[in-house]
Amino acid sequence: MAGGLPHPVLLVDEAAKAVGLYKLNDAFHAQVIDSNVIYAWFAMILLIILGMLATRKLEMVPGGFQNFFEVVVGGLESFVVENIGEKGRKVFPFLCGLFLFIITGNLIGLVPGLDSPTNNVNTNAAMALTVFVYYNFWGIRMWGPGYIKHFMGPFWWLVPLMLPIEIISHLARPLSLTLRLFGNVRGEEIVLVLLFALAPVVGTFPMYFLFSLADCIQAFVFFMLAMIYLKGSLEHAH
């Protein structure tokens, strides 16, 4: 697995090496393209293919991939609108894309021969920083200079106390998003490797179900926290 964990064969790595996308830079002894980037591309390509399969023949009575995606996307949209309101429809494409990418990235790491892009801190940091910039962009777009009131607390006399606390709190959000997802996915893969070494079949097969569930939960947690941050930036400061 990526990041130093042993894996028999990483199929996407081998394919990338074959076409020259994944090689060593002799000058710096470093990878020209990191494996987590390769697997992030792989997750995106997989989502594009699934999306094309789901939308190539739309029907009034959906079936197959169309039905699956309508349930997932429709459920997520309803959840966002219920929590944020109608404004949530404007930010839903971002949140939905984020959720689908994370859950796909998490789950492909459980497939033998593949690895997860989300077990690398760089991938998660990029997503967390994107969320940070995105919700602050919407806050500034919605409220202009008045967005600073979100950092000042409910009373003017609390500003000297609340302003630095809120700034530190917001700056810590990308770090918490990054480490939460990274720690859970990396820890899951370490446990899977240890169980495989101890009991190759009996030890790992039952854990696939639990790890699949955990991957879905972690994707939803990241999605939900991003939604909460967006909700806070879109709400009026009191």
Which pair of structure tokens corresponds to residue 157? 């006399």
**Angle at the Cα of 78 (from 76 to 83), degrees rounded to 5?**
95
Q: Could you list the pLDDT tens digit for every one of the 238 residues in the chain?
A: 444 444 444 566 666 666 665 555 544 445 566 778 888 998 999 999 988 888 877 777 666 777 888 888 899 999 999 999 899 999 999 999 999 999 999 998 888 778 889 988 999 999 999 999 999 999 999 888 888 888 887 777 777 888 888 899 999 999 999 999 999 998 888 887 777 777 666 656 777 788 888 899 999 999 999 999 999 888 876 6
Do the Cβ atoms of 130 and 97 come closer than 8 Å? no
Q: What is the rounded CA–CA span in Å between residue 204 and residue 75?
A: 32
pLDDT of residue 1: 47
Give the pLDDT confidence score for residue 28 in this predicted structure: 47
Cα–Cα distances (Å) from 179 to 9, 98, 123, 187, in that order, read: 27, 17, 11, 11
DSSP annotation of 118 reads: G
Q: Can you give the residue ranges of every domain in the chain?
A: 2-234
Question: What is the spatial distance between Cα 160 and Cα 152, in angstroms, rounded to a whole number?
Answer: 8
Residue 12 has what pLDDT?
61
Neighbours of 143 (CB within 10 A): 17
Check residue 29 and give its pLDDT: 45
Nearest to 33 by CA among 55, 49, 17, 11: 17
How much is the pLDDT for 147?
86
